[in-house]
Every structure is written in structure tokens, then in C-alpha cells.
Amino acid sequence: MILSLLLSSFLTFVELNCENLFDTSHDVGKEDSEFLPDGKRYWTRTRYWGKLNRIGQEILSCSDHLPDLVALVEVENDSVLHQLTRRSLLRNAGYEYLMTTSPDARGLDVALLYQPASFRPLCYESLEVPVLPEMRPTRDILYVQGQIITGDTLHIYVVHAPSRYGGEKETRPYRMKVAEIISRQVKMHHQERVIVTGDFNDYFDDASLKYLEESSLVNVTKNTVGICGEAKGTYRFQGEWRSLDHFLCSKRVADCVESTYINDNAFLLDDDVRFGGKRPLRSYNGIRFQKGFSDHLPLIVKFKF
């Protein structure tokens, strides 16, 4: 019994789409003018620093203990991640991070925060998603290989798949391309302990998620709901809760899942005046700034290895 406890490790993994976590400076060649002090959203330093602290607050509220890993979607650049981990409410949390530098037209990227005491990166790379006809350059997939304290090696993929803008059917091949790249990587390198997470811009019953499940990955968050009983998914569209955010794992990792839940604490929610009930409290309602967090709620998986 004692030996079993010594050889086991609990790991808390959070995924969060930060919804437009831009700084206030223009990145040359990127379409970020909307989020500048003189842009249409008047994205000032005050608003930016407030958003950093709210994202920090959101992450800290996801678990009784500091999350070991945090996959972030919609973060602009290294400056944003440095200020989030070193100067916001997370400054004493000890997080290090890895991120992509993608060709995305707006300049958005994905990142992985990690606690050095519980996760040691061995290598990482950005996997570029080829541009298909009529497709805009999109976010790279972040691949990180690392060890947890049991000595097990995890292969982690952080995804922000192309959006549905222009129509779900018309843009479906773009998201399928992301799923194909991940499936090929996993098979080519014979990876046994795999975690794929992020915003797939697809629901669990859409083609890209089905393809990944057919490629021997298990969607461990398929039926996950809010820990406070309000949210039935991480995202709400026209009054309906569903999840665009997912965790997919190889069977060896799926067998280690202790629990899954959505962080739907009351301070992360807003009244849905049009459809009733609650919805995520986002930073802007239209173009009206409302000191919110994100249009997605955090998705959490707790593992026992």
C-alpha cells in the first residue's frame, strides 16, 4: 500500500481558450489593429493588465491545488506569456511555459504552462498546418514531450484548430487536416502516453473528433459538465451549451483519468439576457467592454499515474 502511494502521481491539467489575449503593441505583419489603444476596441494597458489578472484568477480557481499543466489558446506572443507568468496574479505560482510562433494571420498562438516540480520538458516543436485552398494561415500545433515525477513520459499536443468562419461544411477540411497531422504523429512515433487538448472548433460528434477517436484516442471529456452545476459545456452559442474544447488521450492515459469537470464558478458567468440562463462572462459584449474573462470556460482533467 505504501509503495503504491509512493509510485503514484496526481496531475491536474487545465485547458483554456483565453479569448483574444493580445498585448497593446502592434506585431508587424499581423492583423491585430482591433486590439490596440487606438483600435475600435480601445485596448488600453489598463484593460490589458486587467485581463491578464483575470486569466490568472481563472486558472487559480480551477483546482484546490495549483494546476500542474495549463494549455492556453488565443495568446498573442512571448511578451504576453512572460507578463502573465511573471507579473500578473500568477507571478508567484512558478510557472514556466512553451509556446508556438505561428503564421496565424491575427498573430495568435497556443502555449503550455507547466510546473517544473511535476513536469520536465524533454523536447518540443511547432507542427505547422499546411494552408489549403482558400484557407488563411492558422495556428501551429504545439508538441511537447516531457516526464512526470513517476518517470512516465507524456506526449502532449496543444491545438487551436481553424474556425468555422465561412461555414462549418466549407471549413471542415481545415480542421480535418489538424486531426490528420496529430494522428500521423502519434502513429509514426509509436507514442503510447498521449494527451491532445485545446479548442478544436468542433463538437465531439463532428468529423475531426470522430477521426481522432477512430485513430485510437479516447475523448475523456465528452460528457463533462460544470462542477457548480450550471455549464453543460465550455461554450454557449444561441442559448445552447456545448464544448469546442476537448481532451483526447491514448488508452494508457485515459485509464488514469480520476475526474473531469468544467470550471463554472459564478464569477466566470454572466446572465444570458436573450436566451435565459447563464453564459461565460467574456471581455466584450459586442464592442462594449465589460471586464470579463473569456467566451470559453476552463476544462479540467485530473489524472492519477
Residue 8 confidence class, pLDDT cut points 50, 70, 90? low
Q: What DSSP assignment string belongs to 123-171?
A: EEEEE--PPPTTPPP-PPEEEEEEEETTS-EEEEEEEE----TT-HHHH
Does 131 reside within a domain? yes
Asked if pLDDT for residue 5 goes beyond 70, the answer is no
pLDDT for 2: 45
Q: What is the CATH number of the domain that holds 120?
A: 3.60.10.10
Does 3 reside within a domain? no
Asked if pLDDT for residue 209 goes beyond 60, the answer is yes
Please tell me the pTM assigned to this model: 0.96
Does 4 reside within a domain? no
pLDDT for 9: 86
Asked if pLDDT for residue 59 goes beyond 50, the answer is yes
Partner residues linked to 15 by β-bridges = 71, 299
Q: Which of 187, 18, 184, 191 is nearest to 99 (CA)?
A: 18
Pairing of strands 10-21, 69-75: parallel
Q: Which of 252, 187, 246, 257 is nearest to 219 (CA)?
A: 246
Does 5 reside within a domain? no
Boundaries of domain holding 135: 10-296
Does 304 reside within a domain? no
Does 199 reside within a domain? yes
Does 2 reside within a domain? no
Q: Please state the length of the chain.
A: 305
The predicted-structure confidence for 274-285, as pLDDT tens digits, reads as follows 999 999 999 999
The structural domain count of the chain equals 1
Report the C-alpha gap between 229 and 107 in whole angstroms: 35
Query: Which DSSP letter does residue 296 get?
Result: B
Is the model more confident about 191 or about 121?
121
pLDDT for 80: 98
The predicted-structure confidence for 63-119, as pLDDT tens digits, reads as follows 999 999 999 999 999 999 999 999 999 999 999 999 999 999 999 999 999 999 999
The predicted-structure confidence for 248-297, as pLDDT tens digits, reads as follows 999 999 999 999 999 999 999 999 999 999 999 999 999 999 999 999 99
Mean pLDDT, residues 5-23: 88
pLDDT for 240: 97
Helices (H), ranges, the chain: 2-6, 45-60, 78-86, 168-188, 207-214, 251-254
Mean pLDDT, the chain, as a whole number?
96
Does 1 reside within a domain? no
Asked if pLDDT for residue 6 goes beyond 90, the answer is no
